[in-house]
A and B are shown apart, each in its own frame.
Chain A
Amino acid sequence: MGSGFLLRRIGYGLLLMLGVVVLNFLLIRLAPGDPAVVIAGEMGGATEEMLASIREEYGLNEPLLVQLGIYIGNVLRGDLGESFFFNQPVAHLIALRIGPTILLVVTAQLLSIFLGVLLGVLAARRPNGVMSAFVSVFATIGYAVPVFWTGIMLIILFASVLPVFPVEGMTSVRLRDAAWYVQWLDVAHHLVLPAFTLAIIYLAQYARLSRASMLEVLGSDYIRTARAKGARERTVLFRHALRNAALPILTVAGLQFGNLISGALLVETVFNWPGMGRLAFDSILRRDYPTIMGVLFFASAMVVIANILTDWSYRLADPRLRGRT
């Protein structure tokens, strides 16, 4: 596994991030009205001195390219500007919220891949069986149902009918002073419904995809070879077939990660999860541009990192891709 490959991918990733920063910059410039007012959040009440200091800070009196240079310089120093609404540095606001979002998104991603692939493999074992029919129906429903609807249904179910999982927030106030592991369990408990809500659409897709991919692989000559060796069916499915069926699943998982992050925005809102999605949602309503840009920047960074990890996992899964660049 050449480190040259990884370096190159990280290089591309940084280039992409630069693109995002430029886009962010243009977003402000293209928004109607005085950029200083836009940055101030159009909340009204921005005094002439404030606007002047914003113009100074963002160099709005300079030529466009110089402004871009200043903006990139600011970002490089970790300065994403100041939220007009919170009157705090955007970087600080995001630092407080990125953890919960990563927790939610990564849990949902792992949950959907793990359960989806498991369902798909079981379905592929008997293409005409009950499990196969279930996966097809479930996948169709999963595609069709919007994520907030699933969330609201789960809230109704678990808030009133079956109150075993919390439907709101990430922690319980009453456990604030409990031991660390109690707090961890509490977060995990709160995580169940949002993570499952976010996972369910993708879970259905992974189930369908891995069923199709497995069916194709199970017809291969090397699967017959594995059986001819005397391998048991479980070994054939999970050792010989799944590794080969994994590539299309990984591809989709990588592509879906961006969608998952935007899905997290909705789920965080529905379940009042204290993450970046919630912050983005509030900031959009408040036209708090610096915060929106900051969220965009970090969400893009997460997608870029996810893509690098995807490419890297390809090479783990398929030796034929190693040694290529």
Chain B
Amino acid sequence: MSLLEIDQLKVTFDTRYGQVTALDSVSLAMDAGETLAVVGESGCGKSITALSVMGLIPQPPGKIAGGAIRLAGEDLTRASEARLRAMRGAEVAMIFQEPMTSLNPVFTVGDQIAEAILLHQDVPRDRAWKDAVALLERVGIPAAAARAQDYPHQLSGGMRQRVMIAMAVSCRPRVLIADEPTTALDVTVQAQIFDLLNEIQRDFGAAILLITHDMGAVSEMADRVAVMYAGRVIETGTADSVLDAPQHPYTRGLIGCIPSLDTAGDGLAEIPGVVPPLHLLGAGCAFAERCLHVRDTCRDTKPRLTEKAGHHVACFGAQEGWL
């Protein structure tokens, strides 16, 4: 049994175009202490996957319409709100993309970390504060005792993301979800944050679900990779296997797109076009419109994940060998 198992998850949203399926048959698994990278362009469902695990899909309009999310065997999609509250922050914690806006502007950062501790641990307030300062020190914030008294606006983006990391690991969660933790940061700071996440994982033994565009970070950090497109996992396997022998044309495009200053962001120079809006998804492969190798089957039928070259891919071309 894996530590975290997402099994055939389906999430829908009510929109003005009617009900759309944001996640369709998404299955992912991670073992204790490993890093799973989830990659894909903006809008392909990475954050929704993460929020589903946290039980934080905005409902309405969102809804978990099928499947299961098992944490050590317990199905979180059936858990009570009280159970989810006890789980959030303690067993599964999350770091968000926007360090500039993810901290509450009216409380000191020390307060916000101490709050996370007090929510899940039966310790006195001054002890929680001391722990908060120690955590700030641990994530590499100089003069931590003084910085703990600062408000978020007094810190840089990189420092705020360190604060978020300190807060997330404050209760030693078994799973740490990092949703594009470096997208909003300077390139030099990005590397520092990835290093910090690596160290944290070594020290705290958390499994990390790393959501990112950065294929460089994937090759450095990830044990396994899942590539998502339009709400589905289209290729998944060990990081080595997927990066060395990508099967899906979309994955090949992603890997070909080495992040540099002008391609960093959402555009993919190698793959023209954009992710289709969910309400326009047809019966076939969602990538068909952008695929250079598209055939009629691709437009009519959705490919399913099958094994190929040591990992799994959902592409008729790859499966039938006509790419």
Chain A residues in the interface with B (C-beta under 8 A): 220-222, 224-232, 240, 243-244, 317-320
B87, B102, B167: residue with the most chain A Cβ atoms closer than 10 Å: B102
Which of A221, A228, A243 is close to B106, meaning CB atoms less than 8 Å apart?
A243
* Binding-face segment, B8-16, B112-120, B270-278, B306-314: B112-120
Minimum distance in angstroms from B112 CB to a CB of chain A: 8
Q: Is B151 an interface residue (CB 8 A)?
A: yes
Q: Is B229 an interface residue (CB 8 A)?
A: no
* A-B contacts, 14 listed (Cβ < 8 Å): A221-B96, A221-B98, A221-B101, A222-B104, A225-B103, A228-B54, A228-B89, A228-B94, A229-B93, A231-B119, A240-B104, A244-B105, A319-B105, A320-B153
Asked if A230 and B86 sit within 8 Å, CB to CB, the answer is yes
Chain A positions within 8 Å of B104 at CB level: 222, 225-226, 240, 243-244
Asked if B103 and A222 sit within 8 Å, CB to CB, the answer is yes
Which of B89, B102, B120 is close to A221, meaning CB atoms less than 8 Å apart?
B102
Asked if B106 and A225 sit within 8 Å, CB to CB, the answer is no
Q: Is B78 an interface residue (CB 8 A)?
A: no
Please measure, in the bound complex, the distance between the C-alpha atom of A228 and the C-alpha atom of B176, giving whole angstroms.
11
Minimum distance in angstroms from A233 CB to a CB of chain B: 8
Asked if B94 and A320 sit within 8 Å, CB to CB, the answer is no
Which of B94, B115, B153 is close to A319, meaning CB atoms less than 8 Å apart?
B153
Q: A229-B115, A230-B119, A231-B115 are in contact. Are A222 and B101 (CB under 8 A)?
A: yes
Chain A positions within 8 Å of B98 at CB level: 221
Q: Is B293 an interface residue (CB 8 A)?
A: no
Chain A positions within 8 Å of B116 at CB level: 229-230
Q: Is B130 an interface residue (CB 8 A)?
A: no
Which of B96, B107, B120 is close to A224, meaning CB atoms less than 8 Å apart?
B96
Chain A positions within 8 Å of B107 at CB level: 243
Which of B89, B106, B108 is close to A229, meaning CB atoms less than 8 Å apart?
B89
Known: A225-B164, A244-B104. 20 other contacts (CB 8 A): A221-B98, A221-B102, A225-B104, A226-B104, A227-B88, A228-B93, A228-B96, A229-B115, A229-B119, A229-B167, A230-B86, A230-B87, A230-B90, A231-B115, A231-B119, A232-B85, A243-B104, A243-B107, A319-B105, A320-B105
Please measure, in the bound complex, the distance between the C-alpha atom of A244 and the C-alpha atom of B86, giving whole angstroms.
25
Minimum distance in angstroms from A37 CB to a CB of chain B: 58
Chain A positions within 8 Å of B115 at CB level: 229, 231
Chain A positions within 8 Å of B93 at CB level: 228-229
Q: Is B281 an interface residue (CB 8 A)?
A: no
Please measure, in the bound complex, the distance between the C-alpha atom of A227 and the C-alpha atom of B115, giving whole angstroms.
12
Which chain A residue lies CB-closest to B117? A229
Please measure, in the bound complex, the distance between the C-alpha atom of A318 and the C-alpha atom of B152, giving whole angstroms.
12
Q: Is B264 an interface residue (CB 8 A)?
A: no
Please measure, in the bound complex, the distance between the C-alpha atom of A221 and the C-alpha atom of B101, giving whole angstroms.
6
Q: Is B269 an interface residue (CB 8 A)?
A: no
Asked if B106 and A244 sit within 8 Å, CB to CB, the answer is yes
Please measure, in the bound complex, the distance between the C-alpha atom of A17 and the C-alpha atom of B116, giving whole angstroms.
49
Question: Which secondary structure dominates chain A's binding surface?
Answer: helix
Please measure, in the bound complex, the distance between the C-alpha atom of A232 and the C-alpha atom of B83, giving whole angstroms.
11
Asked if A317 and B88 sit within 8 Å, CB to CB, the answer is no
Which chain A residue lies CB-closest to B91? A230
Minimum distance in angstroms from B27 CB to a CB of chain A: 23
Please measure, in the bound complex, the distance between the C-alpha atom of A230 and the C-alpha atom of B79, giving whole angstroms.
14
Chain A positions within 8 Å of B90 at CB level: 230
Which chain B residue lies CB-closest to A228? B94
Minimum distance in angstroms from A235 CB to a CB of chain B: 8
Q: List 9 tightest A-B contacts by C-beta distance, closest first.
A: A230-B88, A230-B89, A221-B101, A229-B89, A222-B104, A319-B151, A221-B102, A243-B106, A229-B116
Q: A220-B101, A225-B102 are in contact. Are A230 and B56 (CB under 8 A)?
A: no
Minimum distance in angstroms from A222 CB to a CB of chain B: 4
Chain A positions within 8 Å of B151 at CB level: 319-320
Please measure, in the bound complex, the distance between the C-alpha atom of A227 and the C-alpha atom of B103, giving whole angstroms.
12
Minimum distance in angstroms from B103 CB to a CB of chain A: 6
Minimum distance in angstroms from B285 CB to a CB of chain A: 33
Which chain B residue lies CB-closest to A232? B85
Asked if A222 and B105 sit within 8 Å, CB to CB, the answer is yes
Chain B positions within 8 Å of A231 at CB level: 85, 115, 119
Chain A positions within 8 Å of B119 at CB level: 229-231
Which chain B residue lies CB-closest to A231? B119
Which chain B residue lies CB-closest to A219? B58
Please measure, in the bound complex, the distance between the C-alpha atom of A228 and the C-alpha atom of B91, giving whole angstroms.
11
Minimum distance in angstroms from A234 CB to a CB of chain B: 11
Asked if B96 and A225 sit within 8 Å, CB to CB, the answer is yes
Please measure, in the bound complex, the distance between the C-alpha atom of A226 and the C-alpha atom of B104, giving whole angstroms.
8
Which of A222, A228, A318 is close to B56, meaning CB atoms less than 8 Å apart?
A228
Minimum distance in angstroms from B225 CB to a CB of chain A: 24
Within B51-108, the residues touching A (CB, 8 Å) are 54, 56, 85-90, 93-94, 96, 98, 101-108
Chain B positions within 8 Å of A318 at CB level: 105-106
Which chain A residue lies CB-closest to B51? A224
Chain B positions within 8 Å of A240 at CB level: 104
Minimum distance in angstroms from B80 CB to a CB of chain A: 13
Chain A positions within 8 Å of B88 at CB level: 227-230
Minimum distance in angstroms from B234 CB to a CB of chain A: 28
Which chain A residue lies CB-closest to B98? A221
Chain B positions within 8 Å of A243 at CB level: 104, 106-107
